[in-house]
Amino acid sequence: MGRLSGKIAVVVGGHDGIGGAIARRFAEEGATVYATSRRAEEGDVGHGAGTLRARRVDASDVPALAAFFEAVRNEAGRVDVLAVSAGISEFATLDTIGEDHFDRTFGLNVRALLFAAKAATAIMPDGGSVVLVGSIADRIGTKGYGVYGATKAAVRSFARTWANELAPRNIRVNVVAPGPTDTAMMAATSDEVRETLTKLIPLGRMGRADEVASAALFLASEEASFITGAELPVDGGMAQV
């Protein structure tokens, strides 16, 4: 029996990259997974012991997000597990940051995450689990990624607060915090940035999306039943040693 057998899971930003890996892993472990993306081709497919239900939703559109969760409630009745992975990372140093850059980054990385968590936990039974995809950028000062790092610090703060607020319902809230991971988002950065970051990783390589998904699965499952408000780094030791 899979670790999420019979569970209803939602992965916001679950089309590709880390979010896609999380959605697939949850399905492999028996969950019915609603995976959202602005680019998703809608449809339901069996995956492992579970099912992947791709839904096209712009997470930054709060009314559309609310309508999506209402549809999940009507179809499935509840959400047992929520993972929020939707996010962007764009280079901009302090002297070049503009309002559009700030609003776009905080709009998806923080605002969308907040309202996804609000909608999901409103239909989550006691004993559910929330996994937020943060980043070790919440604690290090990578040049040109100040706004991105600030959004991830906000994610970390939300997890602490929500863990307290939802504890009476035994809903656990945790953060999985990747370091540099070999995804399309990282591929969009310069060779210089990737080389510089890799040199800072004790294990000598970037992470893989499936490695982050394994950590997210642990936090979502009953194996982490006494863990809440925590941040689990998956960074090859980059911000740990």
Active site residues: 148
> Are the beta carbons of 152 and 139 closer than 8 angstroms?
no
Q: Which helix (H) or strand (E) holds 174?
A: strand 172-178
Q: What angle do CA 122, 80, 167 make, to 5 degrees?
A: 65
Q: Which helix (H) or strand (E) holds 131?
A: strand 129-133
What's at 62, amino acid-wise? V
Round to whole Å and give the CA distance between 151 and 97: 14
Q: By C-alpha distance, which of 27, 55, 6, 1 is closest to 216?
A: 27
Half-sphere exposure of 93 (CA within 13 A, CB side): 2
Residues 6+ apart with CB under 8 A from 35: 10, 11, 14, 15, 19, 20, 23, 52, 53, 54, 55
